[in-house]
């Protein structure tokens, strides 16, 4: 038994009377767990779109379309604000959406986006896209590696890095590469919770910590 946990639980239980519990419940219902519930809703919509993509055998098409839309919406935040603004009529939003993406994406993806507007859920489009890509990568045995590099990698270096990671992970690896001069030299790679770091910045920081931790000897 965790003594500290039990002690904390007793204190909390003592403070939480019935009226306080009711206040917690009322608050949750009123705000619907805002952030956590939004995440659940995004997962539900993503699951529905993914199931449709599988049924229509259009996983690659749907993935390319939602990612393209997501990139455009991130690149033009004012457009995203128009599509989520509560004062703009939903029909006008859907017409605007169709005029921009109608000839660029599969009609079912466009209809899905219109459904999000009808349900006042379009603000979750980024989260829905992220969940869809996660499912797509899982089904296709793809691992995403976020690579930060002090200097631009040439084509040969990228190919070698990708081959090395795929051999180690036994998966197809998708590289997301970002230049970061602050690293000074080398690479920092993040795959889920795993971090591989051989940058000069990291080595300097480690040496600095080591120097600070060593006791100063008096002469």
pLDDT in tens, 155-170: 998 999 899 888 988 8
- CA–CA distance, 52 with 59 (Å, rounded to integer): 9
Note the pLDDT of residue 13.
Answer: 54
The Cα-based distances of 123 to 105, 107, 120, 155, 206 in angstroms read: 19, 20, 8, 37, 42
**199 within 8 A of 151, measured Cβ to Cβ:** no
Rg (CA), the chain: 25
Full DSSP string of 157-201 = HHHHHHHHHHHHHTSEEEEEEEE-GGG-SSEEEEETTEEEE--HH
Note the pLDDT of residue 1.
Answer: 44
Top pLDDT among 182 and 19 is at: 182
Domains of the chain: residue spans and CATH: 34-137 (1.10.520.20), 142-213 (3.40.30)
Q: pLDDT tens digits, residue range 64-119?
A: 999 999 999 999 999 999 999 988 999 999 999 999 999 999 999 999 999 999 99
Most confident of the ranges 7-11, 125-129, 190-194, 196-200: 125-129
Q: Under the phi-then-psi rule, with left for phi > 0, alpha for psi from -120 to 50, and beta for the rest, what region is 120?
A: left
**Distance between start and end Cα atoms, the chain:** 51
Q: Give start and end residues of each alpha helix (H) in the chain.
A: 3-15, 18-31, 34-55, 59-75, 77-84, 90-101, 107-118, 125-139, 155-169, 200-213
- Confirm whether pTM is higher than 0.75: no
Q: pLDDT tens digits, residue range 185-198?
A: 888 888 888 888 87
Q: Stretch 40-67: mean pLDDT, rounded? A: 92
Note the pLDDT of residue 21.
Answer: 57
């Amino acid at each position: 038994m965790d003594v500290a946990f039990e002690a904390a639980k007793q204190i909390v239980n003592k403070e939480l009377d019935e009226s306080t519990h009711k206040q917690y419940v009322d608050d949750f219902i009123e705000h619907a767990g805002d952030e956590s519930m939004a995440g659940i809703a995004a997962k539900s919509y993503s699951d529905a779109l993914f199931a449709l993509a599988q049924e229509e055998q259009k996983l690659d098409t749907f993935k390319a379309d939602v990612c393209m839309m997501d990139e455009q919406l991130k690149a033009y935040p004012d457009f995203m604000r128009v599509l989520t603004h509560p004062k703009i009529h939903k029909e006008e939003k859907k017409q605007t959406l169709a005029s921009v993406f109608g000839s660029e994406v599969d009609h079912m993806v466009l209809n899905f986006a219109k459904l999000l507007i009808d349900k006042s859920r379009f603000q979750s489009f980024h989260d829905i896209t992220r969940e869809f890509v996660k499912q797509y990568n899982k089904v296709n045995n793809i691992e995403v590696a976020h690579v930060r590099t002090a200097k631009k990698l040439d084509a040969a270096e990228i190919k070698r890095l990708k081959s090395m990671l795929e051999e180690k992970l036994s998966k197809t690896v998708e590289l997301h590469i970002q230049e970061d001069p602050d690293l000074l030299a080398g690479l920092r790679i993040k795959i889920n919770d795993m971090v591989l770091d051989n940058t000069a910045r990291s080595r300097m920081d480690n040496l600095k910590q080591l120097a600070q931790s060593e006791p100063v000897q008096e002469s």
